[in-house]
Amino acid sequence: MTMPTQFERPEILTEENHPNHTDPAAAVDVVLVYPYFYTHAPQAMLFHPLGIAQLAAVLRSRGLRTQVVDCTFDQTKDVISKTVHARPRIVGIYAMLSMSENAMALAREIRQILPQTLLVSGGPLPTLKPDRFLPDFDGVFCGEAHAAFPDFCRDYVESDGQPKDLFRLGKYPEKYPGIYLKHPHNGAVIRSMPCSSDEKTINDLPMPDRSDYDHLQYQQFWLDREGFSLAGIMMSYGCPFDCEFCSKPVFGNHLRQRGLDQVFEEIKDIKGWGYTGLWIADDCFSLDPAYTRAFCRRMISEKLDMKWFCLSRVDRMTSSDIALWQDAGCRKVFFGLESGSNDVLKLMNKKTTTAEAEKTIHRFAQSDIRTAGFFMVGYPGETYDTIEKTFKWALSLPLDEISFTVPYPLPGTRLYDRVTPVKENPDWRYENENRLVFQSEFDEAYLKKRIDSVYKQFNAVKARMNQS
Ligand code: B12
C-alpha cells in the first residue's frame, strides 16, 4: 500500500481548503521569508537579508510574482497573515543556524493553513543538513541558489504548480543544481550537486532588490548605535583560507570578485534608499589588496561619502593601505584575532601569528579607523594557560572593542568533526551567551566569569582614557 505523503495529502485536498485550486489566479507565485525576529538583545546587529533580496531580484526578472516577508520587525501572527494573504504557490524560507527553529516553526504553521503550497528552504544550514529540513519542507535548495531556485520556481508555476509536479521536475535534478527532495513513495533522495557560480554568472545577476524592506527601521537602529546607517553588501564570495572552525557552506573556498561597476551601481542604489554607510559582508575584505585598493580609489573619486565597516585578516595590511581605507570612508574593521597563543592559532589553522596581529592593530591605532577584535576561549586542545594568555594579550592591544566567545563547532567544519556534541541537536539560539554545546575540557562557569571580568577591565580602561 502506498502511504499518503506530505506532498499528496489526499485527506485534506478539497475544493474548499485548497487555496490555489479554488482561486487559480493565485495572488503571488513565490513568497520569500526571512525568519529573524529582532529580540533587542544588546549584541544584535540588524541588516536586511541580502540572499532574499538577491533571489527576489532574479525571480522577478523571470516574471514571477514575488513577495518578501521580512520578520525582523514583525510578530509571528503578522508574518503568517501576510504569507497566507498572498496565497502563494511556493513559500521559500531562509535558514541558518540561529534561525532554523523559527524557519521550521513557520513552515509548520503555513503548512496547516496552506496545505497545497510548496514549502522550500535554503541558506547555510539547509545546505549542510538538508535532511533536517525535510520533515517540515517539501524540498531544499543547497548552496548558491540564485540560478536553480528561480528556474525551478518558474518550471513549477508553469506546470500548474501542483505538488505532484514536484516529482516530474525532480526527475531531472541536474537541471536544478543543489536540489534536494525526498521521493514521496520510496523515500529515495532526489538530489544534484550544488554548483559554484563563476565571476561572469555572478556579475550577470540583477542587483539585489531592496524594495521590500522597512529601511526606516533598519536605519534608525544604526543611527542610534553609530550615528550613521549601514546596509549590507557583498563584493566577493568565498574564502581560500581553511580555518578549522570556519563554516563556508554556501560560497566555499573559491574566491570570486564582483566587477566594480556592478558594485558601485549597487552602492548608489543603497544610498538611494537613504543609507549613509555599508557593512561589507565579504568573508574577508582584505584578501586581494589590489581589488580593495581599486575599490577605495573609486570610493574616493566617485565622492559617494559612504562610511563602511568590514572584516579583515591581520596579514598583508600596510600603513599606506590603512591610510587609503580611511580616506575611502572605512570607520571600523573587525578582526578574528582568536588567540594570544601561536600554538592555538596553529591548532585553528589560522595561518597568522600574534606578532602580525600586534603590528596591524598598532598601525590601525595610528589612524581614525576603529578596530574590533574577536577572540575565542576554551578551544579544544588549548589549556587554561593559553586562555589566560589570550585575555592578557587582548587587554594589551590598542583595540576599540573586544568580543570573547567560546567555540561554536558549526556543522560542516573540521572542528565540528573533532568534538563530541553535548546533544545531537544543540540549541543554537544561544550563540552569544557562551554556552558550551560540546563536551569540553573547560569549565563553562569559569570561562563566563573570566570573560565578564575581562570585559569590565577593558571598559574601565576605556572609560579612563575617555576622561583623560
Ligand atoms: C552578514 C552576515 C551576518 C549579519 C546579518 C546577516 C543578514 N541579515 O542577512 C550578522 C553580522 C548580524 C550575522 C550574525 C550571525 N551570523 Co552571519 N553571516 C553573514 C555573512 C557574512 C553574509 C550573509 C550574506 O548576506 N550573504 C550573501 C547572500 C547573497 O548569501 P546567502 O544569504 O547565503 O543567500 C544565498 C543562499 O544561501 C541561498 N538562499 C538564501 N536564502 C534562501 C531562501 C530560499 C528559500 C532558498 C531556496 C535559497 C536561499 O541563495 C542565496 C543566493 O545564492 C555570512 C557568510 C557568507 N559569506 O554568506 C554569515 C553566516 C550566514 N553567519 C553565520 C553565523 C553562525 C552567524 C551568527 C550565529 C554568529 C554569532 N555567533 O553570533 C549570528 C546570528 C545572528 C542572528 N541574527 O541570528 C554563519 C551561518 C552558519 C550556518 N551553518 O548556519 C555564516 C555562514 C558565517 C560562517 N562562516 O559561519 N551574520
Q: Considering the domain boundaries, does residue 10 fall inside one?
A: no
222-264: per-residue pLDDT in tens? Answer: 999 999 999 999 999 999 999 999 989 999 999 999 999 999 9
User: Whose Cα sits closest to atom 34 in ligand 1?
Assistant: 51
* pLDDT for residue 186: 74
143/412 Cα distance (integer angstroms): 13
Residues 273 and 126 placed together within one structural domain of the fold? no
In the chain (468 residues long), the average pLDDT of successive 10-residue segments reads 32 37 64 95 91 98 97 96 95 94 96 93 94 92 94 88 66 87 78 90 96 97 96 95 93 94 98 97 92 97 96 93 98 97 97 97 97 96 97 97 92 87 62 75 93 96 83
Is the same domain home to 109 and 251? Answer: no
Query: How many other C-beta atoms are found inside a 10 Å radius of the C-beta of residue 19?
Result: 18
Tell me which residue range forms the domain holding 125.
18-191
Distance CA 27, CA 238 (A): 37
Give the contacts of 146 (CB within 8 A, at least 6 positions apart): 54, 55, 58, 197, 205
Q: What is the pLDDT of residues 137-159, one digit of tens each?
A: 999 999 999 989 999 999 888 88
Vertex 411 angle, CA 408 and 415, to 5° = 60
Question: Using the 8-state DSSP alphabet, how is residue 6 labeled?
Answer: T
Total of domains in the chain: 2
Where would I find the H helices in 74-114? 76-85, 100-113
Closest ligand 1 atom to residue 93 Cα is 45
In a domain, 207, yes or no: no
Identify whether residues 91 and 49 lie together within a single domain.
Answer: yes
pLDDT number for residue 7: 32
CATH number for the domain spanning 328: value is 3.20.20.70
Specify the ligand 1 atom closest to the Cα of 144.
53
Final residue belonging to a domain, choices 160, 191, 222: 191
Mutate to test the pocket of ligand 1, among 96, 176, 243 (most ligand atoms within 8 A of CB): 96
d(CA 369, CA 327): 10
Residue 219 lies in a domain: yes
Task: Give backbone dihedrals phi and psi of 32, rounded to 5 degrees, phi first.
Answer: -110, 130
Per residue in 21-63, pLDDT tens?
444 445 899 999 999 999 888 888 999 999 999 999 999 999 9
Which residue puts its alpha carbon closest to atom 70 of ligand 1? 431
Q: How far is CA 17 from CA 107, 118, 290, in A?
A: 18, 15, 59
What is the atom index within ligand 1 of the atom nearest the CA of 128?
83
Task: Name the DSSP letter for residue 4.
Answer: P
* Residues in contact with ligand 1 (CB, 6 Å cut-off): 36, 45, 47, 49-52, 54-55, 92-94, 96-99, 120-125, 128, 141, 144-146, 149, 232, 234, 246-251, 281, 283, 408, 410-411, 431-432
CATH number of the domain to which 74 belongs: 3.40.50.280
Q: Which residues of 191-222 are buried (b: 16+ CB within 10 A; e: fewer)?
A: bbebebbeeeebeebeebbbebbebeebbebb
Q: Does residue 304 lie in a domain region?
A: yes
DSSP string, 108-153: HHHHHH-TTSEEEEESHHHHH-HHHHTTT-SEEE-S--TTHHHHHH
Nearest CA to ligand 1 atom 43: 94
Task: Tell me the CA–centroid distance for residue 96 and ligand 1, in Å.
Answer: 6
Q: What is the pLDDT of residue 161?
A: 63
Atom of ligand 1 nearest to the CA of 52: 41
In a domain, 199, yes or no: no
Q: Are residues 162 and 244 in the same domain?
A: no
Is 131 in the same domain as 229?
A: no
